[in-house]
């Protein structure tokens, strides 16, 4: 099947590349000339394990190509996926759908024969209706269907998530579109991946509901962590105790500095705003947003407390900048809020991240970037683990202690056991463990 994907960012590039693994022919289109030039040279603009090999393999075979000519890409394909950004809109927190609507207008002018237009971007309920209206108004003679097919990709594990998904949610309004989408995902369906067909609005809401629930789960265990510290309990044991209940499950129960990234912050906000517009407020989500926002800067206060209440003029070593491991994504990363709060109190920041420093430099100022964890620890008054990269899980603690000004470790991801760290002569602080 011939597929085009409008938008060659994280979702568009991963989706387009993985579709070629199923035997489809894919054109990825993007208006960013620099991005397309890089992709045509085999340079991947994002860090996602395994993506570079898939792109190289299918580009060489001719089943995957990249272009800035969106109109031509659309005209050559049977299915068009819209995978453009939907950031939070300035001022009110609603999802900014301007890129989606611009893509819809371009598609309307370019489609050739019956075309299935699939919204893969995360969009509020009713967006598919508006996309359909725009196409119909722009090209009254167009023969098309509009489908919702949200992505459920975890950054750092996106390839596996796409090829072996928990479910594939497809929102359709007519049988022709359903038949086409069954063909698009036929290789996965044969592997018993659940293909869930619903109406379009249900599909759109399912994406937001999933992210909202996971954000709540993270926030819940973070609040339990604070309670554990107050009463002398261990949040990791609490998480195990409740996670073994199959109704709850063990995932997303790791206490930490709060959630970040490209999805949870903007999607929870958009869900709350949509619910308010329909006079059906989701108060649990609203509270989740408020708690998470305050938690990130609260983590800075833990670091300050570990420095006897004063970090002015002190060197703080930061391990991990990205919002999670195995990505270079800095969007709404807890490190941004923590570092800013520490700098506001006069701290000097030196940091290391295996993949995120180039992106971090675009956002953070007055930060010294180091070439290793040991470089970030050098002459530091405190070392703070913010992101749980594997490379930080087995640090040479005696070596760390030797290069630090003071042996103080603040572990915001509970990577280490307190007894092991204190045995090496450190003062150790973690999350939710007395």
What gap in Å lies between CA 175 and CA 184, rounded to an integer?
14
What gap in Å lies between CA 88 and CA 343, rounded to an integer?
26
Measured CA to CA in angstroms, residue 37 lies from 8, 59, 103 at distances of 12, 13, 21
Residue 122 Cα to chain centre, angstroms: 12
Contact 1, 183 (CB under 8 A): yes
- Tokens coding 429: 């602080």
Measured CA angle at 250 (ends 244, 253), to 5 deg:
130
DSSP string covering 116-129: EEEE-S---TTHHH
**CA contacts within 13 A on the Cβ side of 387:** 30
- Tokens coding 128: 């598919």
Query: Hey, CA dihedral for 320, 324, 329, 331, is it positive or negative?
Result: negative
Measured CA to CA in angstroms, residue 168 lies from 3, 120, 152, 321, 358 at distances of 18, 12, 8, 32, 34
Q: What number of helices (H) and strands (E) belong to the chain?
A: 18, 14
Catalytic residue among 18, 28, 263, 370: 263
Residue 263 a catalytic site member: yes
Q: Which residues are catalytic?
A: 263
């Amino acid at each position: 099947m011939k597929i085009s994907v409008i938008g060659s960012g994280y979702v568009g590039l991963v989706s387009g590349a993985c579709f070629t693994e199923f035997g489809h022919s894919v054109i990825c289109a993007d208006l960013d000339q620099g991005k397309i030039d890089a992709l045509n040279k085999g340079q991947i603009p994002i860090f996602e394990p395994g993506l570079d090999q898939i792109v190289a393999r299918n580009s060489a075979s001719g089943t995957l190509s990249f272009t800035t000519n969106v109109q031509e890409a659309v005209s050559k394909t049977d299915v068009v996926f819209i995978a453009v950004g939907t950031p939070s809109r300035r001022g009110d927190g609603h999802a900014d759908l301007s890129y989606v609507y611009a893509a819809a207008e371009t598609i309307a002018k370019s489609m050739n024969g019956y075309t299935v237009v699939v919204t893969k971007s995360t969009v509020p309920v009713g967006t598919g209706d508006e996309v359909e209206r725009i196409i119909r108004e722009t090209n009254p003679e167009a023969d098309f269907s509009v489908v919702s097919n949200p992505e459920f990709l975890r950054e750092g594990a996106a390839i596996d998530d796409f090829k072996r998904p928990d479910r594939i949610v497809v929102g359709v309004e007519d049988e022709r579109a359903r038949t086409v989408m069954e063909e698009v995902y036929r290789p996965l369906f044969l592997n018993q991946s659940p293909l869930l067909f619903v109406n379009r609005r249900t599909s759109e809401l399912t994406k937001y509901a999933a992210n909202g629930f996971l954000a709540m789960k993270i926030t819940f265990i973070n609040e339990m962590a604070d309670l554990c510290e107050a009463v002398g309990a261990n949040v990791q044991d609490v998480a195990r105790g409740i996670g073994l209940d199959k109704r709850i499950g063990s995932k997303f129960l790791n206490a930490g500095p709060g959630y970040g990234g490209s999805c949870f912050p903007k999607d929870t906000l958009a869900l709350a705003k949509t619910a308010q517009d329909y006079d059906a407020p989701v108060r649990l989500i609203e509270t989740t947003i408020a708690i998470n926002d305050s938690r990130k800067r609260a983590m800075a206060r833990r670091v300050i407390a570990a420095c006897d209440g004063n970090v002015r003029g002190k060197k703080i070593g930061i391990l991990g900048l990205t919002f999670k491991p195995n990505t270079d994504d800095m969007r709404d990363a807890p490190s941004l809020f923590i570092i800013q709060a520490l700098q506001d109190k006069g701290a000097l920041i030196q940091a290391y991240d295996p993949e995120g420093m180039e992106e971090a430099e675009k956002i953070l100022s007055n930060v010294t970037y180091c070439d290793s964890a040991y470089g970030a620890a050098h002459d530091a008054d405190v070392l703070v683990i913010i992101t749980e990269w594997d490379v930080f899980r087995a640090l040479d603690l005696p070596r760390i202690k030797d290069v630090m000004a003071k042996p103080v470790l603040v572990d915001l991801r509970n990577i280490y056991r307190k007894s092991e760290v204190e045995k090496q002569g450190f003062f150790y602080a973690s999350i939710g463990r007395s």
